Structure 1
Amino acid sequence: MFFALYTALSVRLHQRLLTTGYDLGIFEQAVRSYAHGRAPVSALKGPGFNLLGDHFSPVLASLAPVYRIFPSPMTLLVAQAALLAVAVVPLSRWAYQAHGRTAALVTGIGYGASWGIASAVGFDFHEICFAVPLLAFSVTALGNERWRAAAGWALPLLLVKEDLGLTVMVIGAYIAWQGSRRLGMATAFVGLAGTLLEVLVVIPAFNPHHSYSHYERFGGAESPGGTTLLGLLHLPVDLITPQAKVITLILLLAPTAFMALRSPLILLALPTLCWRFLSAYPPHWGTSHHYSAVLVPIIFGAFVHSLNRWAPHRSTQDRRTLRTGLAISSAMTALLIAGFPLAGLADPLTWQTPPRASAAHRVMDRIPDNATVAAANRLVPQLTNRCTVTLFGFPDIPLTADWIIVDAKYPMGFPISAQDESHALDQARFGGYRAVAQDDGFLLLHRSTPGPQASVS
């Protein structure tokens, strides 16, 4: 069921021109490169930019065979829907085996309808969709004290994204604490070593600046003391301020009636929460985008594990507490749906393709396959399966594409403002581009002969 819901939401967003180059277009360019036997280059990140120099996510190559058969951004969106939906299986099965049908339904629906997963589905495609089922299976194995299985499901996280090695490290520490010390210590070592190797060696080797560019999001202007002693003393305050961080924590735990806090499995969420809340990048703190998706299977795994405290075979009071917790969990899940993307499935507009989408495709059909195109952010993923696409207006990047397509009527405002985009179009015309098509605000320009490059600034 959730696979169908996730697919419907993400596909309809794409058909309504509500997906973006940053990030669906970037990931499609990487998968398209893999599908043709090349390194994962994304022109949207820069000329010849290898995505392994941004984040270490070689797991994307697993989509290449399917993409080769179905070369479309829809392939990525459907794959993401499937991966996120699969995580329901181990969590709900564990709840059923431990506590019965009601607990399984509450857990499965709570995870599947959670705002963290919905926010990921509602914003393009991201590599973390591979991590979610791996974490669900690993947490389930931990809760059932199957230590080898837990480590086995956790280790592939090193191929999903560089920060997840820290989660592997904590999983290893948990195994060492609760079960096999040797296996746990080995898993923890591999997790920590993997993250250090990826951040300090592998990513800089592929990065054009030979560095890990995401360092700049930590210890920046938002951090009172940076890496000074004052900054270190201020870390506990940084973890809970501004208020958005506390709200995110509350909303993460509320669907479990805060019962997840009763399980030590909740410790697995600490690495992700720490790097997000210590970041100087405000979107990391809140509930939008995909950043909370990897926390959802951990929190619901901790929720199922916490139910053991009030197992049905215990006292009448314990059974009553269990039923109350499940009822509160269900109520919070239902209450939060309205504020997040899954609620869009009940909106009639979701199922109506705006006439402007047809106009956009009529204009884009003028662009030949394999052309070089500079496109507005929302038009990028409509073209990345057949053209080499860059983002029009990206600051300080020379404009060398043969074609430009923008939405002059309703500019998105990223990466530049509407006013700056208009200025950039004037520069492009000066550089030799001429309008060849216009329909309902969608403007297509073409430069048939080489002219002076127009630098967008």
Structure 2
Amino acid sequence: MRSPDERQGIGWQIWCLAACLFLMYMLVSLRIHERMLSNSFDLGVFDEAVRSYAHGRLPVSELNGPDSPVLGDHFSPVLALLAPFYRVWPTAETLLVAQAALVAVSVMPLALWARRALGQTAALVIGAAYGLSWGVASAIGFDFHEVAFAAPLLAFSLAALGQERLRAAAWWALPLLLVKEDLGMAVCVIGLLIARRGDRRTGFVTAAVGAGVSLLAVLVIIPAFNISGSYTHWFGMDSVAQSGSLPALLEHSTLGLITPMEKAKTLLYCLAPTLFLALRSPLILVAVPTFLWRFASNLWNDWGTKYHYSLVIMTIFFAALIEVLAQRRPSPAGLRRYLVGVVSVAVLLLPSFPLWQLVQPATWRDDIRIGTARSVMRLIPDNATVQASTFLVPQLSNRTRASLFGWYTSRPNPQWILVDTFVPANLRWPQTYMQEQAALQAARAQGYTTVADTFGYVLLHRPG
């Protein structure tokens, strides 16, 4: 017989919570894009990939190289699900709205599980704390990424696992194999947890499929599409292994996983939103593969809190929090203390991450240069080859073959070059101002003519 909570369904409060979070996510990400602060890497890459799917082709991205297959970079065929929407609304905004919806949906299984185990108030508090957590905010504020699909799948899978619906946990976990190649190891861990909790056959099959598909993607599928014939995202880990130095390998796989201090800081930031209670749940093991590849990487941007890498960590850790509280069954007063602590950490960290932009006046002010930029971009015809500044690429990638100006993988000798020369030094990438000016001068020497030069936007065209 079902409980009263189960009979009343999800409940309008949880629906409203998810809807409010969706609106917040959408406003933040769309406003960042409208202000031309979204990036070539990664919104431009995914825009070009989904555009390919929408036109019935295998995904390619000019940003990774001329007609470079995206499946040779990461194994993320789940992006094809966005193609019908992109066909109707062929803009980068379509991806941002889809991401907002996917992440907002991930709140619902966690909140529903919390309501069944802890009550309505706890469900809304935990759901809001998760939805406003810094890891979610960082993902929403940094372009679009395929891991947006992972958040709801993990939430449904772990909620089912925590409630002993073991086969449902497996079925929700398996689609993660289509999201990104590294998530196969998370599926493997989920499978092992399913086996440990009683359904050995389902668990071991899930674990084997997860590990097998992950290895197949890394060793066979991605190299088959990659022009180099290899998997290029070992992030420097392969160089340590190939060095043959046992001390270096031991250091990299032990002390190197927690140094420099940025890694330890990220780990503390991940644990703080759950008051470190997540450590008491076996569900936290699902996050171990993600932490391992991030902290074993030689790339500093994989270690920190700035980008999208902690989205799945937040989903896993909040699921672990719910399981711990459900098992401990604290008194009403004890539960209130936990909930106050969880909300306090979320609110304390909120101003340091992108969702705080919603209350910043600068977010809602329009820059006169944006209108100028759009006027200049309209001079570029559809399907032309373009090299552009990083913040301009996502504005062009839906209708041109856009790559990054001054980047080593960009298509040489494009028909058009568009550069924003007024980008502040702290946002300028990949070239300094002097390097950019030298590159523009070199382009003019090669025969490019100036079509527009206004408010810092320089548009060059190569005749013929």
TM range (shorter): over 0.9
Task: Look up the match of 1:151.
Answer: 170
Deviations 1:298-352 (A, max 9, x none): 100000000024315xxxxx44332222211111111010110001111011111
Over 3 Å counting, the alpha-carbon distance change for 1:396 and 1:233 in structure 2 is closer
Alignment pair present for 1:416 and 2:434: no
Tell me if 1:79 matches 2:92: no
The reply to whether residue 238 of structure 1 matches residue 264 of structure 2 is no
Aligned to 1:273: 291
1:6 aligns with 2:21: no
| Alignment correspondent of 2:267 | 249
SS of alignment partner, residue 213 of structure 1: coil
Using the alignment, how far apart are the partners of 2:79 and 2:172 within structure 1?
17
- Offset at 1:366? 1.1
User: Match for 2:53 among 23, 26, 34?
Assistant: 34
Q: Using the alignment, how far apart are the partners of 2:411 and 2:101 within structure 1?
A: 39
**Structure 1: distance between partners of 2:49 and 2:414:** 19
Map of 2:190 onto structure 1: 171
Quick check: 2:187–2:207 contact (8 Å CA) kept in 1? yes
Q: CA deviation at 1:410?
A: 2.0
Partner of 1:299: 317
Partner of 2:13: none
2:303 maps to 1:285: yes
Residue in structure 1 matched with residue 14 of structure 2 by the alignment = none
- 1:121-160 aligned within 5 A: 121-160=140-179
- Encode CA deviations 1:103-154: one digit per residue, 9 max, x unaligned: 1122101110011010011010011101111000001001001111100010
- Offset from partner CA, 1:396-444 (integer Å, 9 cap, x none): 7553211110011226432222211111111110111011112210111
Could you tell me how far 1:6 is from its partner in structure 2? 0.3
Contact map agreement 1:376 1:405 (CA 8 A) in 2: yes
Displacement, 1:20? 1.1
- State the distance in 2 between where 1:145 and 1:226 align: 45
Q: Write the distance in 2 (CA, Å) between the matches of 1:240 and 1:409.
A: 39
Query: RMSD in angstroms over aligned alpha carbons?
Result: 1.5
Whether the 8 Å CA contact 2:62–2:410 is kept in 1: the answer is: no
- Quote the residue 1:442 is aligned against: 457
Q: Aligned residue for 1:193?
A: 212
Residue 216 of structure 1 and its aligned partner are, at CA, apart by: 4.1
Identity %: 53
Determine if contact 2:133/2:346 at 8 Å carries over to the other structure: yes
Could you tell me how far 1:224 is from its partner in structure 2?
10
Aligned to 2:64: 45
TM-score normalized with structure 2 length: 0.93
> Structure 1 regions of 5+ residues with no counterpart?
313-317, 450-457
- Which residue of structure 1 lines up, in the alignment, with residue 419 of structure 2? 406
- Pairing 1:311–2:329 present: yes
Give the AA of the match of 2:302.
Answer: H
- Partners of 2:79 and 2:244 in 1: CA distance: 34
Q: 1:431 aligns with which of 446, 450, 455?
A: 446
d(CA) in 1 for partners of 2:242, 2:93: 45
Q: Distance in 1 between matches of 2:263 and 2:242?
A: 19
Q: Which amino acid aligns with 1:265?
A: L
Counterpart CA distance in 2 for 1:445 and 1:4 is 39
User: How much has 1:228 moved relative to structure 2?
Assistant: 3.6
SS in 2 for 1:390: strand
Alignment correspondent of 2:390: 377
Aligned residue for 2:402, secondary structure, equals strand
Count of aligned residue pairs for this structure pair: 442
SS at the partner of 2:68? coil
Distance 1:239 1:226, change over 3 A: farther
Contiguous gaps of at least 5 residues in structure 2 = 1-19
TM-score (norm 1): 0.94
Instruction: Name the structure 2 match of 1:229.
Output: 246
Taking structure 1 as reference, are residues 245 and 343 closer, same or farther at Cα in structure 2, changes over 3 Å only?
same
Q: Note the C-alpha offset of 1:248.
A: 0.9
Amino acid in the other structure paired with 2:132: A
